[in-house]
Amino acid sequence: MRDPSSRAQNPRNLAASRCRPQRRVDDACRRTWRCMMATRAASHHTLYQVSTATALVQGIYQGAVRVGTLREHGDLGLGTFENLDGEMVIVDGQFFQARSDGSVRECNDDVLSPFAVITRFAPDAAVTLTQDPDLSHLSSGFDRLRHSDNIFFALRVDGHFDYVHARAMCRTKEGVPLVEAAAVQPEFEFRDVEGTLVGFWTPEYAKALNVPGYHLHFVSADRTRGGHLLQCRGAGLRLQIQREGDYHIALPETEDFLKADLRRDPAADLAKAEGEKK
C-alpha cells in the first residue's frame, strides 16, 4: 500500500507547495504596483510653455503659437499676445485678452502668442481664507500648500475681491525691451468685483525660463475686466493648487528667437517689468 505521506514528500510536490504562496505574494505586488502607477498617472501634471522669459525680456514678441494650438495643452494659464498686445488669461478652457484699458475680450483660435504657459488643472489641494487677505496673505496661503521649492505649481483663486490693482501691456514694436514697454503700461483698479486669479509659482532656479515666484492674472466673473495682478484684497477667497510633475518648453522657430543672444540673466528686468511702477 502506498504511503499517504509520499505525495507530500515528493520533491516536485514540495516545490509546488512552496511556489504557490510565492505566486500569491508576486500577484499582490503586481496589483499594488498597478494601483500605484494608476494613481501616479492620475495625479501627474504637465506644464506646457512656449518660449522663455529671457526672450520676452529682450523684446522677442513675434507670435510663435496660435491660441488654437495652446488649447490642446490645457485649460488654465496665462501669457501675452503678439507685440505685447495685452495680457492672456486662460480660465476653464476659455482664452481671454485683457487689453490696455482694462477691458477683456475672448480670443479666437487664430490669435498669436509669443509667450504662454498652460496646464490641465485638477487641483491637489485647496483652502478657503477666512480673513480679508491681500496679495501677501494669498502668497502665504499658497506657501502653506506648496510642499517644495523645486517644482512648478499651478494656482487658482476664486471669490469676491474688494479691490484689484492690475495692469495690461500696450501693443508695442518688436525689439523694444520689456522694461521699456512696461514703463508706459497702463494700470487700473477694480472694486467690489467677483473674479478669478490664475497663474503659476516658478522655482528660483528657473528664472531664465519663467517668472520666478508667484505670477497671477485676473479676470472678472462677468469676463469684462482683467489684467496682470499687482495687488488685491478679498473676502473668503478659495485657493487651489496643483503640482506640476513635468515641464515642457516649446521653443519658437522665428528668426528673431533663433538669432537672439539669450545668455543674459533676466531676473532684474523681470522684477521691474512685473511689479508696480514706482
* Same-domain status, 87 and 188: yes
* Same-domain status, 161 and 241: yes
Q: Is residue 2 part of a domain?
A: no
CA distance 200 to 243: 10
Q: Per-residue pLDDT averaged across 24-49, rounded?
A: 62
Q: Is residue 155 part of a domain?
A: yes
Look at the chain and report how many structural domains it folds into: 2
At 3 the pLDDT is 53
Band the pLDDT of 278: cuts 50, 70, 90: very low
What are the pLDDT digits (tens) for 159-188? 999 999 999 999 998 889 898 888 888 999
* Same-domain status, 15 and 96: no
* Same-domain status, 52 and 33: no
Beta carbons of 88 and 51 less than 8 angstroms apart: no
What are the pLDDT digits (tens) for 130-143? 877 799 999 999 99
- Give the structural domain span for 32: 7-42
* Same-domain status, 157 and 181: yes
Give Cβ neighbours of residue 21 (< 8 Å, ≥ 6 apart): none
Beta carbons of 86 and 97 less than 8 angstroms apart: yes
* Same-domain status, 97 and 181: yes
Going from the C-alpha of 91 to that of each of 111, 120, 157, 223, the distances in angstroms are: 17, 10, 11, 10
* Same-domain status, 148 and 134: yes
> How many Å from the N-terminal Cα to the C-terminal Cα in the chain?
104
* Same-domain status, 12 and 117: no
- Alpha helices per DSSP H over 44-122: 53-57, 67-70
Where residue 116 sits, what CATH number does that domain have?
A: 3.30.1330.80
* Same-domain status, 72 and 124: yes
* Same-domain status, 37 and 87: no
Band the pLDDT of 267: cuts 50, 70, 90: confident
The one-character DSSP state at 16 is H
